[in-house]
A and B are shown apart, each in its own frame.
Chain A
Amino acid sequence: MYGTVHNLWPTAAALSVAALFVLPSCTFIEFEPSPYQPRGVDIVYSQQEDITFFVWRVGDVVDFDRVDFELLVDGDYRPVDTEETIFPHAPYECDRNYYCLQFQLDGNRIPAGDAPVVRAHDDLHGTLESPEAREHQVETTFSIDPLATDNNRRATAQRTDWFDDEEIPLRRQWQWGLIESDGGECTIGSPDGWSTLRPRVELPQNWINSTPCFALRPHRSDGGGTVVVDRLIESPMLFGEDFDETIPSEKHPVHLAFLVNLEVTNEARCEQYIDSIRSEIFDSLDELEDHEDYPRTAGYEDLGIYRPVDNTGEEQSGCTQDTDHVYPVEDIITDADEATAGSTEISTLVVVYLNNLDLPPAQSNIERLAPLFEDRPEDADPHYYGWAIGSHTVLSIFPWNETTPWAPLEDENFLPAIETDVQRQFPLRSTDFDGDDTMTVHAPNASDDPQHVRLCTISPQPQRVALPPGEPGPYDTDTWAWPDDRSPKLFFDIPPQRFVRYPDFNEYRITGAYEVCDQYCDHPFIASDGQVHDSWVDAEGACRWD
């Protein structure tokens, strides 16, 4: 290519490029308020502080290195530096999409006339003037209502600020201090030292003894500042406590008795059924601790296999049915009584009845089974529980606690159905109280001399409350005087649950929080939601603790 040119394409390319120049010079310009123009100007004269505050805004894209500001003061425009004023502060983002600037001068400097109060000058835009300013003459721009908090370890000034109320942005620091008093009216003075005010300030120890006044002043760059004072009010001495108690429950051990009355002519096949069903139940009980949703353990004991006996008292195989065969129900009950004797826990006798014949058993055997379904006292040990695995006719004879339809062993759903039935039943559970549960409200450890107690949150709601030595009364308030003798006691009405299948058991919990007041209980305090209440003892439903 060196030293040569192609004939046509450079010309075509040049023509294409040249065509760009004949395109209109489109820039799609629209005009918008210059970000450098001062706007939203507020001028505030505070009689209390004898200061004139100037506040204005510019766009939030302004480069402050490019712009200078001038204020109309005493008829002339003076350059101003917001870092060299009474309350210096760099421009800061405010009011969304703006920077706010502030400047102050001593005395009343609100300009007369309609001349623009603020001017901005920058090399690019020239001089830009502010629109008409909002003027305010205010008697008082700040006040305090100091209040001790956190059991009198800290305090808050509760400062009221006119600028905040009027949403006029002004950034300045505050200083506070304590002035000793004789308990009477607070007089303006200077504390031993000034400290930077924060939302909560640490109080010196034993400050209460000196009944001090709280002093506050704005932090001027020259060290002065108008001082306001007010008596610092002691806060209630409050001590909170959470509680989270679960209503106790017991799991009932399982005693399994297999009553076999099948119609399977092949005896080996019959025994295969029995062994498979028993193994499935035992394995399922062993694997309950691995259950995905309700892992638990179930203590169980195998009472054995019970087969019918004939007229002579000889035990049959249980694999063929005969009207003369008799169910050994009494033996089951006897064995269960022996197995559970001496135990402190109430057990469950689970009679697993196996009968695949789609005919009702002999009437005599139905009568023998009947005691298993009779009503028994709640504390009867063992608790009877019937589980039929059999034909539809058999399943409908009695109000079995659990039923599993019979199916051939080869049916892939048969043994898994038994496993599922084990998982959704055992062990049975009962609440371990007498149906009238109580909870004692103990004084928190830090509370030396409780005077009142308030329930901040509680679930479920108590039905009654006892303030010893008084009798339990209705629960109609959340605040009580602390009883002289013993701690208050709450009474709940939680329904008892008896022999409930494990997954169906409702675990009841009593949860909540309370706080105890030792001193200054009628003083104002700040609740957990930040609201100030005049008296803790009268502020029902409000707690300092969450």
Chain B
Amino acid sequence: MGLNHHIFQRLLAVAVIGLLLAVSSPAAADGDDETTLQERFASKEGRLYAQLGGQALIRDDFYFSPGIGADVGYYFNEQWGAELRGAWYFSRLSHTGEQMAEDHGFAPDMRAPDAAVTAGARYSWGYGKVLATGDFLVHFDPQLVASAGVTFAEERVVPTVNTGVGFLAHWRFGFRTQLDLQASVHVEQRDRGWIPAFGFAPVLSVGWSPPAGGF
């Protein structure tokens, strides 16, 4: 199972890198310092947003940790936004973990995550649109994401840092879809001391952003 994780993460990383390069390469190919795009389909500047979504915390920790989350945020301009996120996990032992518990009464020395609260920033470093299936136009922002907070894992409170990339797709009437692919770092005080744990934390959210200045 740990091997499958690694393969999945590496494939995902390659896909992300390829996509980023594909998105950014036309501007670089023009040879200009800046390239002006046609008017945006959706503006973010000065707008609040709220989202709900599903997520997972994928680590080699012998737990399955799917979850749901909610976040609210605000964009100061088209590039920079701030975000507060809460997550609830529905953790259970993996099959191997269950076998260890049943056969030997042993459990991982990491605690299963129950919830997390983080605050962070988003940077939209571009804006693009893709014509899919011939008649389906998708407007999106590629983003860089970083956040920090704590994860509540049974009796422990674990300092947490997430960082990665995000893809924000804009729809009509202020609706939006956001996919974050983040690397996670948890530093947990186990019986042996403070031990780090690295993992992968994808989040898929759906939300809505009211117009700037209200209706």
Give A contacts to B, CB under 8 Å.
1-8, 10-11, 13-15, 17-37, 39, 61, 63, 123-129, 131
Q: Is the CB of B107 within 8 A of A20?
A: no
Q: Is the CB of B165 within 8 A of A29?
A: no
Interface check B210, CB cutoff 8 A? no
Q: What are 8 A-B residue pairs whose CB atoms fall within 8 Å in the complex?
A: A3-B37, A21-B12, A21-B183, A25-B6, A27-B110, A28-B197, A32-B106, A32-B109
Interface check B203, CB cutoff 8 A? no
Q: Is the CB of A11 within 8 A of B28?
A: yes
Bitwise interface map of B from 6 to 20 toward A, beta carbon under 8 Å scored 1, else 0: 100110110011001
Smallest Cβ distance from A129 to chain B, in angstroms? 7
| Residue of A19, A33, A125, A126 with most partner-chain B CB within 10 A | A125
What CA separation (Å) do A19 and B163 show in the bound complex?
11
Interface size on B, residues (CB 8 A): 66
What CA separation (Å) do A443 and B77 show in the bound complex?
93
Additional 12 contacts, C-beta under 8 A, given A10-B125, A21-B164, A22-B10: A5-B27, A10-B126, A18-B17, A20-B183, A24-B6, A25-B59, A29-B62, A32-B107, A34-B105, A61-B155, A127-B102, A128-B101
Contact among B98, B144, B183, B196 with A126 in the assembled complex (CB-CB below 8 Å): B98
Contact among B13, B59, B93, B125 with A5 in the assembled complex (CB-CB below 8 Å): B125
Q: Is the CB of A26 within 8 A of B198?
A: yes
Q: In the complex where A5-B35, A34-B105 touch, is A27 in contact with B198 (Cβ < 8 A)?
A: yes
* Residues of A close to B28: CB separation below 8 A: 7-8, 11
A19 closest partner in B (C-beta): B13
* Residues of B close to A129: CB separation below 8 A: 105
* Residues of A close to B196: CB separation below 8 A: 26, 28
| Residue of B17, B100, B164 with most partner-chain A CB within 10 A | B17
Bitwise interface map of B from 97 to 131 toward A, beta carbon under 8 Å scored 1, else 0: 01011101111111010000000000001110000
What CA separation (Å) do A506 and B162 show in the bound complex?
75
Q: In the complex where A6-B34, A11-B28, A29-B61 touch, is A23 in contact with B198 (Cβ < 8 A)?
A: yes
Q: Is the CB of A7 within 8 A of B33?
A: yes
* Residues of A close to B21: CB separation below 8 A: 11
What CA separation (Å) do A361 and B40 show in the bound complex?
121
* Residues of A close to B104: CB separation below 8 A: 31
Q: Is the CB of A17 within 8 A of B163?
A: yes
Interface of B: prevailing SS: mixed
* Residues of B close to A126: CB separation below 8 A: 93, 98, 101-102
* Residues of A close to B109: CB separation below 8 A: 29-32
Q: Is the CB of B20 within 8 A of A14?
A: yes
Q: In the complex where A15-B17, A28-B196, A30-B109 touch, is A124 in contact with B92 (Cβ < 8 A)?
A: yes
A-B contact count (CB 8 A): 163
* Residues of B close to A123: CB separation below 8 A: 92
* Residues of A close to B36: CB separation below 8 A: 3-4
Q: Is the CB of B59 within 8 A of A30?
A: no
Give B contacts to A, CB under 8 Å.
2, 5-6, 9-10, 12-13, 16-17, 20-21, 24, 27-28, 32-37, 39-40, 45, 58-62, 77-79, 91-93, 98, 100-102, 104-110, 112, 125-127, 142, 144, 154-155, 163-165, 181, 183, 191-192, 195-200
What CA separation (Å) do A523 and B135 show in the bound complex?
106
Q: Is the CB of A29 within 8 A of B35?
A: no
Q: Is the CB of B154 within 8 A of A61?
A: yes
* Residues of A close to B39: CB separation below 8 A: 3
What CA separation (Å) do A98 and B21 show in the bound complex?
55
Smallest Cβ distance from B103 to chain A, in angstroms? 10
What CA separation (Å) do A1 and B181 show in the bound complex?
25
Q: Is the CB of B77 within 8 A of A1?
A: yes
Contact among B102, B108, B165 with A18 in the assembled complex (CB-CB below 8 Å): B165
* Residues of A close to B93: CB separation below 8 A: 124-126
What CA separation (Å) do A15 and B182 show in the bound complex?
13
A39 closest partner in B (C-beta): B105
What CA separation (Å) do A34 and B13 show in the bound complex?
35
Q: Is the CB of B112 within 8 A of A124?
A: yes
Smallest Cβ distance from B29 to chain A, in angstroms? 9
* Residues of B close to A25: CB separation below 8 A: 2, 5-6, 9, 58-60, 198-200
Q: Which 9 A-B pairs have the closest CB atoms?
A: A21-B13, A20-B183, A34-B107, A10-B125, A37-B105, A14-B20, A27-B197, A31-B106, A4-B34
* Residues of A close to B101: CB separation below 8 A: 34, 37, 125-126, 128
What CA separation (Å) do A3 and B44 show in the bound complex?
12
* Residues of B close to A29: CB separation below 8 A: 60-62, 108-110
* Residues of A close to B92: CB separation below 8 A: 123-124
Smallest Cβ distance from B182 to chain A, in angstroms? 8
* Residues of A close to B164: CB separation below 8 A: 17, 20-21
Q: Is the CB of B183 within 8 A of A125?
A: no
* Residues of B close to A36: CB separation below 8 A: 107
What CA separation (Å) do A123 and B112 show in the bound complex?
12
* Residues of B close to A4: CB separation below 8 A: 34-37
What CA separation (Å) do A284 and B57 show in the bound complex?
85
Smallest Cβ distance from A332 to chain B, in angstroms? 85
Q: Is the CB of A11 within 8 A of B108?
A: no
Q: Is the CB of A63 within 8 A of B155?
A: yes
Smallest Cβ distance from A378 to chain B, in angstroms? 76
A23 closest partner in B (C-beta): B198
Smallest Cβ distance from A19 to chain B, in angstroms? 8
* Residues of B close to A14: CB separation below 8 A: 16-17, 20, 24, 125, 142, 144, 165
Smallest Cβ distance from B26 to chain A, in angstroms? 10
Smallest Cβ distance from A120 to chain B, in angstroms? 10
* Residues of A close to B197: CB separation below 8 A: 26-28
Smallest Cβ distance from A7 to chain B, in angstroms? 5
Smallest Cβ distance from A486 to chain B, in angstroms? 71
Q: Is the CB of B144 within 8 A of A17?
A: yes
* Residues of B close to A10: CB separation below 8 A: 20, 24, 125-126, 142, 144
Smallest Cβ distance from A442 to chain B, in angstroms? 63
What CA separation (Å) do A29 and B111 show in the bound complex?
10
Q: Is the CB of B61 within 8 A of A21?
A: no
What CA separation (Å) do A128 and B97 show in the bound complex?
12
What CA separation (Å) do A14 and B125 show in the bound complex?
10
Q: Is the CB of B40 within 8 A of A11?
A: no
What CA separation (Å) do A125 and B24 show in the bound complex?
47
* Residues of B close to A24: CB separation below 8 A: 6, 198
What CA separation (Å) do A33 and B198 show in the bound complex?
23
Smallest Cβ distance from B49 to chain A, in angstroms? 18
Smallest Cβ distance from A231 to chain B, in angstroms? 51
* Residues of B close to A3: CB separation below 8 A: 36-37, 39-40, 78, 127
